[in-house]
Amino acid sequence: MDDVRDMAHLSDEALVALVARSDEVALAELYDRHGATAYGLARRVLRDAALAEDAVQEAFLAIWRGAERFVPEKARASTWILTLVHRRAVDLVRREERRRADVLDESRDTGAEPSAADSAWLRFERERVQAALRRLPDHQRETLELAYYGGFTQSELAERLGRPLGTIKSQMFAALGTLREILESAERESWQTT
């Protein structure tokens, strides 16, 4: 218990550095500080308590295994932790969607299926948007993903990411503008090559 109290004065970044040296007490302190917020984020993305717990557990396992890769100059530790949780949650959503789609494909009657062309177009559009998102600067991509995949309002993002509301609004505006430019540029390029 003395170890935990000794950790209370340390910054999140210092705790991550200790976790990188296999300090279990530091990991426990990080979990105590961010576990509830992480669970709330995962729950909003997944809308399922058990899957949200899985996402948080997997994220903290990733923190344990990859703490040495954390770069404090790039982001706050809390942002890094929530980003890992969000990624795990989104991965679980995708896995569940694939699982449900497989079940539906097996039980669906042939008359209700979308055409192969519709399915291919939707898959193409999804991949195109995801590729464009990957080209955004990290802070813009994170803000958009948390807003659109996580369902957070701008005020909630400001609170969770520790940024002023005006910064969140300008980052989202800039990110959407950049995303639109990337998608339009890609579309123009595809028209020119055909």
The pLDDT tens digits of the residues spanning 69-84 come to 998 888 899 999 999 9
**In three state form, how does the secondary structure of 102-150 look?**
HHHHHHCCHHHCCCHHHHHHHHHHHHHHHHHHHCCCHHHHHHHHHHHCC
Domain holding 28, by residue range, is 1-113
Q: Are residues 103 and 184 in the same domain?
A: no
Question: Of 90, 113, 136, which residue sits at a domain end?
Answer: 113
Q: What pLDDT score does 146 carry?
A: 82
Of residues 32 and 137, more confidence is placed in 32
Same domain, 132 and 40: no
pLDDT computed for residue 2 by the predictor: 47
Residue 29's pLDDT band, with cuts at 50, 70 and 90, is very high
* Mean pLDDT along residues 103-114: 55
Place 34 in a pLDDT band, splitting at 50, 70 and 90: very high
CATH of the domain at 102: 1.10.1740.10
* CATH number of the structural domain spanning residue 183: 1.10.10.10
Q: Report how many domains make up the chain.
A: 2
pLDDT of residue 102: 66
Whole-number pLDDT of residue 191 = 66
Torsion angle of the four alpha carbons 142, 148, 152, 155, in this order, in degrees rounded to the nearest 10 = 70
DSSP at 137: -
* Residue 161 and residue 108 share a domain: no
**Token pair of 28, please?**
């426990």
Cβ proximity of 45 and 150 under 8 Å: yes
Output the six-digit token pair for 126: 């999804």
